[in-house]
């Protein structure tokens, strides 16, 4: 085995041991109290303890494991959404607001579907200096027509439609330099 392969394997094994140790420290007792709490002396169960922390308040008050359940939405923050972003997303792209206040707008009204939002934030200033870090993607059923429509409105594209196995992607910029992707799935 090459030296670099052995080092890689050692890092993986070391990380796995660290995770296992952390999980053992985080185990919980039947009373719902952390390990080491006084309730541990009253334990009546036999066998290994669950390794994930319980969350009270499931149906009928039973314990359940907390977990993420999906994407709720994504927000692009701006120094002032009214100045550039809201007119662009609403009027140029054609997104329909479902909630609109002076400092926050939500697009999308399908129940249980992810929403896209714009918000004014006091710590955001000027244009995005790292636009490739986070991109929002919007689906379309005719990417070529959508690109033509947006280009006719003066929208700047970073890349024209590029076809991959399952999707065609085009990338454009909003007025503050945030990248947006148009996606047409096969």
Phi and psi at 41, nearest 5°, equal: -65, -25
What is the pLDDT at residue 2? Answer: 47
Give the 3-state secondary structure of 66-123: CCCCCCCEEEEEECCCCCCHHHHHHHHCCCCEEEEECCEEEECCCCCCCEEEEEECCC
Q: Are 170 and 160 in contact (CB under 8 A)?
A: yes
Residue ranges of domains in the chain, CATH in brackets: 3-52 (no CATH), 72-126 (3.10.180.10), 131-186 (3.10.180.10)
How far apart CA 86 and CA 38 sit, in angstroms, is 56
Give the pLDDT means over successive 10-residue stretches in the chain (186 positions). Answer: 44 40 37 44 50 59 78 95 96 96 92 91 95 95 98 98 97 97 97
Token pair recorded at residue 151: 């280009």
142-153 confidence digits (pLDDT tens) = 999 999 999 999
pLDDT of residue 55: 59
Q: What is the pTM of this model?
A: 0.65
Rounded CA gap, 116 and 81, in Å? 14
Distance CA 86, CA 175 (A): 10
- Two tokens, residue 106: 């939500």
**Can you give the pLDDT at residue 54?**
55
pLDDT attached to residue 64: 73
Model pLDDT, residue 47: 53
Which pLDDT score, from 0 to 100, does residue 106 have? 96
């Amino acid at each position: 085995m090459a030296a670099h392969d052995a080092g890689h394997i050692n890092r993986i094994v070391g990380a796995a041991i660290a995770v296992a140790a952390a999980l053992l420290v985080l185990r919980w007792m039947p009373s719902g109290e952390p390990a080491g709490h006084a309730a541990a002396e009253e334990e009546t169960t036999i066998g290994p303890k669950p390794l994930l922390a319980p969350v009270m308040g499931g149906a009928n008050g039973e314990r359940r494991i907390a977990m993420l359940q999906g994407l709720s939405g994504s927000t692009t923050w701006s120094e002032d959404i009214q100045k550039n972003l809201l007119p662009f997303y609403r009027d140029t792209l054609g997104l329909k607001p479902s909630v609109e206040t002076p400092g926050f707008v939500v697009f999308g009204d399908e129940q249980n579907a992810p929403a896209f939002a714009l918000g004014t934030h006091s710590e955001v200033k000027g244009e995005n200096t790292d636009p490739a870090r986070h991109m929002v993607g919007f689906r379309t059923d005719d990417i070529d027509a959508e690109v033509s429509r947006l280009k006719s409105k003066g929208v700047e594209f970073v890349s024209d439609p590029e076809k991959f196995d399952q999707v065609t992607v085009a990338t454009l910029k909003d007025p503050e330099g945030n990248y947006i992707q148009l996606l047409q799935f096969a």
